[in-house]
Amino acid sequence: MSENENLTEKDTEVVSKNFIEQIIEKDLAEGVYDTVHTRFPPEPNGYLHIGHAKSILLNYGLAKEYGGKFNMRFDDTNPTKERIEFVESIKKDIQWLGADWEDRLFFASNYFEQMYEAAVKLIKKGKAYVSDLSAEQIREYRGTLTEPGKDDPNCNRSVEENLKLFEDMKNGVYQDGEKVLRARIDMSSPNINMRDPVIYRVAHMTHHNTGDTWCIYPMYDFAHPIEDAIEGITHSICTLEFEDHRPLYDWVVRELEYPHPPKQIEFAKLYLTNVVTGKRYIKKLVEEGIVDGWDDPRLVSIAALRRRGFTPRSIQKFVELCGVSKSNSSVDYAMLEYCIREDLKLSKPRMMAVLDPIKLVIDNYPEDQVEMLDVSNNLENEALGTRKVPFGRELYIDREDFMEEPPKKYFRLFPGNEVRLMNAYFVTCTSFVKDETGKVTEVHCTYDPETKCGTGFTGRKVKGTIHWVPAAQAVKAEVRLYENIIDEEKGVYNEDGSLNLNPNSLTVLKDCYVEPALADAKAYDSFQFVRQGFFCVDAKDSKEDALVFNRIVSLKSSYTLPK
Ligand code: ATP
Ligand code: MG
């Protein structure tokens, strides 16, 4: 079965509704909601990665599918970790992926006033109280999975006293950790999240958006449902680790009496084999200078994938193939590679590039002659047209396409053997030159003018076809080859807990030659280099007169889509 048929088969499978679509359709049918409104709520504390792409495209896709809306919201309620630098990178990445929030870009920190009012409302209902317990005492009182918790000594304070204390908290009367506001729920609940969770804490910190206006900040489990309710979110999609928090989410929206309470739905995170996705690890690699920033092409941050040459379409396809599920599992990195290959195969021109050059001299070709050969850009997609490639007496070929003493079944160049120069003529190797170290520096051959490509020559056949670039007109370039940065076969971690890095994750080839047609290639332009893979112009290091190409992916793989 070809890869194409395989893909179509999988596509039809994906068409059946996932469990979130089923919930939404039921809600719409039963009139629980009359619209679909989703959001993507990142904390601006790092760059987004492929896992976030899944969440973004899922939320955006559902809104689009049901004619609803998609909000972009920075969940910036925690002043300790957030940095404004990340806000810009996150926006850029989401736009690039194609998820359009239109005019709905929000910051949770703009709701601090409403969150404060919500807390006051709970206090007035007798559903929240100010506690004097320290963080450690709260932990002690909380109980365990098998033992119920103990009541907070302050849980019976009067509404008036709680209101006064909470206002004092807001007005800076207390130091960090001196007082907290707790929801009054149930200290003996089997779900520990429901044992009077802390919903507000004192933190004398400057916030990137609200500055020093606040010295109390809401906890995530309290803030998030309020943010959703304020924005009219219907389906609040998050990952599995929040499943146990859902009763608290529901409690908050119920006690605050929102007329159209949002609903939390959890799905399994996307994990990829052989790569690091955890923000913690990526940060370590970046900070220790092991990689070249958050967009190092070996990473799977969205910025890195973009720089490496992945397209939004390939990531959309990948996310689609992953599907949405309730159980954790990891996806083979090869599936992501499959998606980019499929996307580029027919859409990109196929050019010739020589990564490890060795000179080929055609001794019987006229010295000053240059022929402009007509070459198809992509034989499988004629719409990409043709280009001219100059051909002359001196060419570069790849070192591995010549052998002095070939093994069996080696059909490329060796003394006495005839091969086809792709898009040009048949040549027969006549001799070669070595330097004093024994390294081959030049290969000599003769060509047969009768065998020109495109003239219908059928006189004889050759077994090998090799690519080349014209020595006089070729453009020098740097090419970077990548392998996964973590070698999973050898284990992700070393015994001492450090990451077990693949020493071959980056290979830099400085003396490559590419066809002259590539001289004008711009950042993010991508091409197939025949027999080598798909390559993209590096947006960070490539210069007009010093091209740098990243290998996105090799041409072939034994990977087939899972059934
Ligand atoms: P942190 O450890 O800082 O919380 P995070 O990766 O959870 O990191 P958030 O900014 O909180 O980062 O995530 C934003 C959204 O992306 C959340 O809704 C989260 O559930 C979702 N998300 C994060 N990682 C993945 C993943 N691997 N697969 C799918 N969704 C993810
Ligand atoms: Mg998070």
Q: Are 342 and 7 in contact (CB under 8 A)?
A: yes
pLDDT value for 490 = 76
Q: What is the pTM for the complete model shown? A: 0.92
Handedness of CA 371, 375, 427, 531 (dihedral sign): positive
Q: Whose alpha carbon is nearest atom 4 of ligand 1? A: 43
pLDDT value for 15 = 64
pLDDT value for 301 = 94
Ligand closest to CA 280: 1
**Residues with pLDDT less than 50, the chain:** 1-10, 13
**Residues 6+ away with beta carbon under 8 Å from 268:** 239, 240, 324, 325, 326, 327, 328, 329
Q: Are 317 and 257 in contact (CB under 8 A)?
A: no
> What number of other Cβ atoms are within 10 A of residue 304's Cβ?
23
Beta bridge partners of 358: 397
Give residue ranges with CB within 6 A of ligand 1. 41-43, 45, 51-52, 54-55, 238-239, 269-270, 277, 279
pLDDT value for 276 = 82
Backbone angles phi, psi at 430, to 5 degrees: -110, -35
**Taking the CA of residue 112 as centre, how many other CA atoms within 13 Å lie in the half-sphere pointing to its CB?**
19
**Residues 6+ away with beta carbon under 8 Å from 215:** 169, 170, 172, 202, 203, 204, 205
Ligand 1 atom nearest to CA at 42: 10
Distance 187 CA to ligand 1 centre (A): 29
Residue ranges and CATH numbers for the domains of the chain are: 23-267 (3.40.50.620), 272-349+474-563 (2.40.240.10), 353-467 (2.40.240.10)
Distance 42 CA to ligand 1 centre (A): 7
pLDDT value for 493 = 81
Q: Are 363 and 446 in contact (CB under 8 A)?
A: yes
Token representation of residue 440? 């081959």
pLDDT value for 5 = 42
Beta bridge partners of 324: none
pLDDT value for 82 = 67
Which residue among 47, 55, 89 is best mutated to probe the pocket of ligand 1, counting the most ligand atoms within 8 A of its Cβ? 55
Q: Are 561 and 493 in contact (CB under 8 A)?
A: no
Q: Which helix (H) or strand (E) holds 432?
A: strand 426-434
The secondary structure of residue 406, as a DSSP letter, is P
Return d(Cα 165, Cα 142) in angstroms, integer.
Answer: 23
Ligand closest to CA 51: 1
Ligand 1 atom nearest to CA at 56: 16
Distance 64 CA to ligand 1 centre (A): 21
Which residue among 80, 94, 239 is best mutated to probe the pocket of ligand 1, counting the most ligand atoms within 8 A of its Cβ? 239
Token representation of residue 475? 């453009």
The secondary structure of residue 407, as a DSSP letter, is P
Return d(Cα 12, Cα 356) in angstroms, integer.
Answer: 43
Q: Are 203 and 175 in contact (CB under 8 A)?
A: no
